[in-house]
């Protein structure tokens, strides 16, 4: 990329990648230092005298440096899967080609990746809620009488946000970068103004203050560590969105804009706290803006509007991330087929999944109504992200060992410090499980159960289907001895196996006693890489008797288009396959849970339910509906 392109892409990265972490100043300092003698402000906050304030700021500063700058920006971004990032892409990078040959058992890296994916779903539910709630709580600073409107207005904004998802992020994406740029510049300027009022806060860069704070405050200091973690939430987006922007723009945006703006604002809020009487600042972010005037006008209202825009953008980034990771899981065979709408003709990765959108909306509104404030949600927020970050550290270690050939001591030199930090944050958040931390864990466990059940069910279903399949050589020999009448056209039979004749062919022959002039057995194989080049995406093998086997390969970021793949093979002269004389045959299974497979009965029931409600293969494979024939099969699992 040219320098100009890097700068332009960095501006886009600001809007998508750093929207989440950029809104942390709305609530992070508030949760740690908004102290009141009776606990009326933030229930776990410590009194904001000089020592405590410097200690909290020191912990925040070094969390940003060690977790974001060192772990993610400098190291984890190096582990790209053909340019793509994210925890599922990382797990696929670890397993490599083994990911397609796992047999009955899932490899440990993929299990970790699946559970981390479940936790990210929990994060996707909570992030829009806490971001918009944190922004709308500025209404209380404007007038205490507006406090009762915070939750209803938040719900209304969230409903509107999810309603516009169907238009795609592309139409508003150009506005994301400039708005977040203005956001970082504004919060940095406000923070710098308060640092000039009391520059003593700059001493917090000394890690000794953080250590002394933990030593002096004991258990409460340990609880504060879980709240300090709020400053690094959104760090996973750095890695997950790497495929959209690349390493260089993400790094440039972080070190030149995002990091300076965040540090200035955190230190500025700290300066406000130590320069104000204890117990008088309820919301330091909005108090810092309210007490500053430009032309005699308070900055509270402009910052309230800007923070709401930033919170919506932060929410949008997580929602889009859930769409992308759901699509990856579908392609890798860990999630039922859902409707995938491509919202941009230029960007393959911009997708909208209606079913996930409405589930996210329901979950997000439910947590807003349940917890009612950003303070209530703060307890539930951290544990999902800390769990995901710890899993990322373990997977990164495995990449160092298996893909890059690092020695064990050298790989452990990365794993141990990263994992110690992650587990410290996880432990500090784990003590809040009963106060709300159970919620993202419950979502993670439910998603993990669905993903593993769907994978195991598909495996058992394939085993049953293969037991009734006929070896290709045997079918061809029988066809030669007992030839069938042939009709004009091409029949494409979808097959899960690439080395036998599928059941749907046998049923067609049994009932219709006829074959088309050309018969194509088509299998779609998802590779553990994001993209498969067109040169190797289609392999055609002539079988004889005017039958052909087509193996189409696609990456987990690609959506298979079977008519296009068949047309590509026909264009090379392998067979005819004219669009208007080609018929696609599919098997439609009705699943019964009374079979003898070794799946638990509850898993069978979940799999049967998911299979019944999954998107039909006709739309998933982008087959023309008026040229599809489905043959019904009843199968016991």
Give yes or no: residues 239 and 297 share one domain. yes
pLDDT of residue 346: 56
- Domain-ending residue, one of 432, 458, 487: 432
391, pLDDT greater than 60: yes
Q: Quick check: is 251 in a domain?
A: yes
Q: How many CB atoms lie within 10 A of CB 296?
A: 5
Sign of CA dihedral 436, 322, 89, 413: negative
Q: Quick check: is 457 in a domain?
A: no
383, pLDDT greater than 70: yes
Q: Quick check: is 441 in a domain?
A: no
Q: What percent of the chain has pLDDT over 90?
A: 35
Cβ atoms 306, 137 nearer than 8 A: no
pLDDT of residue 585: 92
Cβ atoms 377, 431 nearer than 8 A: no
Q: How many CB atoms lie within 10 A of CB 486?
A: 14
Bridge partner residues of 549 (DSSP): 521, 541
CA distance 84 to 583: 36
Give yes or no: residues 417 and 484 share one domain. no
Q: Which residue has the tokens 């994060």?
A: 123
Confidence of residue 106 (pLDDT cuts 50, 70, 90): low
Give yes or no: residues 374 and 476 share one domain. no
For the entire predicted model, the pTM comes to 0.82
16, pLDDT greater than 70: yes
Cβ atoms 158, 368 nearer than 8 A: yes
Give yes or no: residues 318 and 409 share one domain. yes
Q: Quick check: is 345 in a domain?
A: yes
Give yes or no: residues 392 and 485 share one domain. no
pLDDT tens-place string over residues 217-236? 998 899 899 899 999 988 87
Angle, CA 449 vertex, CA 445 and CA 452 arms, to 5°: 135
pLDDT of residue 349: 60
pLDDT tens-place string over residues 474-521? 889 988 888 899 999 999 998 877 778 888 898 888 888 899 999 999
pLDDT of residue 287: 92
Q: Quick check: is 451 in a domain?
A: no
Whole domain around residue 609: which residue ranges?
468-636
The residue with greater pLDDT, 374 or 309, is 309
Confidence of residue 171 (pLDDT cuts 50, 70, 90): low
pLDDT tens-place string over residues 309-357? 888 887 877 787 788 888 888 888 899 989 888 776 555 566 788 999 9
pLDDT tens-place string over residues 283-309? 899 999 988 888 777 888 899 889 988
- Domain-ending residue, one of 377, 409, 432: 432
pLDDT average, residue stretch 414-436: 89
Q: Quick check: is 105 in a domain?
A: no
606, pLDDT greater than 60: yes
Give yes or no: residues 188 and 243 share one domain. yes
Q: What is the DSSP string of 413-426?
A: HHHHHHHHHHHHHH
pLDDT of residue 100: 45
457, pLDDT greater than 80: yes
Residue 577 tokens read as: 């396959």
Give yes or no: residues 515 and 393 share one domain. no
97, pLDDT greater than 70: no
- Percent helix / strand / coil, the chain, rounded to 5: 65, 10, 20
Give yes or no: residues 297 and 375 share one domain. yes
Give yes or no: residues 380 and 499 share one domain. no
CA distance 385 to 238: 13
Distances (CA, A) of 479 to 56, 288, 499, 516: 78, 82, 17, 13
Q: What is the mean pLDDT of the chain?
A: 86
How many residues appear in the chain?
637
CA distance 167 to 107: 38
Give yes or no: residues 410 and 488 share one domain. no
pLDDT tens-place string over residues 535-586? 667 888 899 889 999 998 888 777 788 999 888 888 877 788 888 889 999 8
443, pLDDT greater than 80: yes
Q: What is the DSSP string of 79-108?
A: --BTTB-SHHHHHHHHHGGGGG--TTS--H
pLDDT of residue 351: 77
Residue 99 tokens read as: 């990911």
- φ, ψ (nearest 5 deg) of residue 366: -65, -40
Angle, CA 626 vertex, CA 621 and CA 632 arms, to 5°: 70
CA distance 36 to 333: 51
Domain count, the chain: 2
Q: Where are the beta strands (DSSP E) in 401-514?
A: 470-471, 486-494, 500-501
Confidence of residue 525 (pLDDT cuts 50, 70, 90): confident
Residues whose CB is less than 8 angstroms from the CB of residue 137 and which lie 6 or more positions away in sequence, other chains included: 26, 150, 283, 286, 373, 374
Distances (CA, A) of 81 to 92, 242, 311, 531, 556: 8, 10, 30, 9, 11
Residue 520 C-beta-side C-alpha neighbours within 13 Å: 30
Cβ atoms 429, 454 nearer than 8 A: no
pLDDT of residue 361: 94
Angle, CA 322 vertex, CA 391 and CA 90 arms, to 5°: 35
CA distance 257 to 168: 26
Confidence of residue 263 (pLDDT cuts 50, 70, 90): very high
Residues whose CB is less than 8 angstroms from the CB of residue 58 and which lie 6 or more positions away in sequence, other chains included: 204, 205, 206, 207, 208, 209, 210, 213
Confidence of residue 29 (pLDDT cuts 50, 70, 90): very high
Could you tell me the CATH number of the domain that includes residue 286?
A: 1.20.1740
Distances (CA, A) of 376 to 48, 162, 371, 426: 21, 23, 5, 18
99, pLDDT greater than 60: no
Residues whose CB is less than 8 angstroms from the CB of residue 19 and which lie 6 or more positions away in sequence, other chains included: 176, 180, 234, 237, 310, 313, 314, 315, 316, 317
CA distance 93 to 87: 10
Closest CA to 292 of 178, 362, 153, 191: 191
Q: Quick check: is 57 in a domain?
A: yes
Q: What percent of the chain has pLDDT over 70?
A: 95
Residues whose CB is less than 8 angstroms from the CB of residue 598 and which lie 6 or more positions away in sequence, other chains included: none
Give yes or no: residues 78 and 143 share one domain. yes
Q: Quick check: is 456 in a domain?
A: no
Secondary structure (H, E, C), 224-238: HHHHHHHHHCCHHHH
Q: Which residue has the tokens 């098997």?
A: 587
Q: How many CB atoms lie within 10 A of CB 289?
A: 25
CA distance 628 to 584: 5
- Domain-ending residue, one of 413, 432, 451: 432
Give yes or no: residues 143 and 271 share one domain. yes
Q: Which residue has the tokens 């087509």?
A: 550
């Amino acid at each position: 990329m040219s320098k100009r392109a890097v700068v332009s892409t960095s501006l886009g990265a600001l809007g998508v990648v750093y929207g989440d972490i950029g809104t942390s100043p709305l609530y992070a300092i508030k949760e740690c230092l908004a102290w009141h003698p009776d606990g009326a402000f933030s229930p776990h906050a410590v009194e904001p005298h000089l020592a405590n304030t410097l200690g909290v700021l020191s912990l925040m500063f070094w969390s940003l440096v060690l977790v974001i700058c060192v772990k993610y920006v400098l190291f984890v971004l190096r582990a790209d899967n053909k340019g793509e990032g994210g925890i599922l892409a990382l797990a696929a990078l670890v397993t490599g080609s083994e990911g397609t040959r796992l047999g009955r058992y899932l490899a440990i890296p993929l299990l970790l990746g699946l559970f981390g994916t479940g936790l990210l779903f929990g994060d996707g539910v909570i992030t829009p809620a806490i971001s918009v709630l944190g922004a709308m709580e500025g209404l209380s600073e404007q007038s205490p009488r507006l406090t009762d409107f915070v939750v209803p207005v938040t719900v209304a904004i969230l409903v509107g946000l999810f309603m516009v998802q169907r238009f795609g992020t592309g139409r508003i994406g150009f506005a994301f970068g400039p708005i977040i740029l203005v956001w970082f510049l504004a919060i940095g300027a406000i923070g710098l103004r308060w640092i000039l009022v009391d520059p003593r806060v700059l001493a917090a860069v000394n890690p000794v203050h953080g250590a002394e704070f933990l030593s002096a405050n004991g258990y409460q200091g340990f609880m504060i560590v879980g709240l300090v973690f709020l400053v690094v939430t959104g760090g996973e987006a750095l890695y997950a969105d790497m495929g959209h922007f690349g390493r260089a723009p993400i790094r440039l945006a972080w070190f030149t804009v995002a990091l300076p703006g965040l540090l200035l604002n955190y230190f500025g809020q700290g300066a406000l706290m130590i320069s104000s009487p204890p117990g008088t600042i309820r919301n330091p972010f909005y108090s810092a803006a309210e007490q500053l005037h430009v032309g005699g006008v308070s900055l509270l209202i402009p910052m309230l509007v800007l923070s709401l825009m930033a919170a919506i953008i932060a929410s949008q980034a997580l929602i889009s991330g859930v769409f992308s990771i759901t699509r990856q899981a579908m392609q890798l065979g860990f999630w039922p087929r859902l409707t995938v709408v491509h919202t941009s003709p230029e960007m393959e990765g911009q997708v909208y999944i209606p079913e996930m959108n409405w589930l996210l909306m329901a979950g997000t509104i439910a947590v807003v109504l349940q917890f009612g404030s950003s303070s209530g949600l703060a307890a539930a927020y951290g544990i999902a992200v800390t769990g995901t970050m710890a899993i990322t550290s373990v997977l990164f270690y495995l990449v160092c060992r298996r893909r890059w050939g690092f020695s064990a001591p050298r790989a452990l030199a990365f794993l141990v410090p990263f994992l110690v930090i992650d587990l410290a944050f996880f432990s500090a958040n784990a003590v809040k499980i009963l106060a709300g931390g159970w919620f993202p864990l419950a979502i993670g466990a439910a998603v993990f159960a669905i993903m593993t059940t769907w994978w195991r069910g598909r495996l058992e279903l394939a085993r049953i289907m293969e037991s009734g399949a006929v070896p290709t050589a045997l079918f061809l020999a029988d066809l030669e001895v007992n030839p069938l009448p042939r009709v004009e056209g091409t029949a494409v039979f979808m097959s899960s196996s690439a080395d036998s004749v599928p059941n749907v062919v046998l049923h067609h022959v049994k009932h219709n006693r006829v074959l088309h002039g050309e018969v194509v057995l088509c299998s779609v194989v998802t590779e553990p890489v994001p993209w498969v080049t067109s040169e190797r995406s289609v392999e055609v093998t002539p079988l004889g008797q005017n039958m052909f086997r087509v193996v189409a390969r696609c990456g987990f970021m690609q959506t298979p288009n079977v008519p296009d793949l068949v047309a590509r093979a026909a264009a090379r002269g392998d067979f005819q396959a004219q669009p208007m004389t080609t018929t696609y045959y599919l098997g439609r299974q009705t699943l019964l849970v009374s079979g003898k497979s070794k799946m638990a009965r509850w898993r069978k029931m979940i799999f049967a339910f998911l299979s019944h409600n999954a998107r039909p293969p006709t739309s998933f494979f982008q087959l023309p509906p008026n040229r599809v024939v489905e043959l019904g099969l009843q199968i016991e699992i």
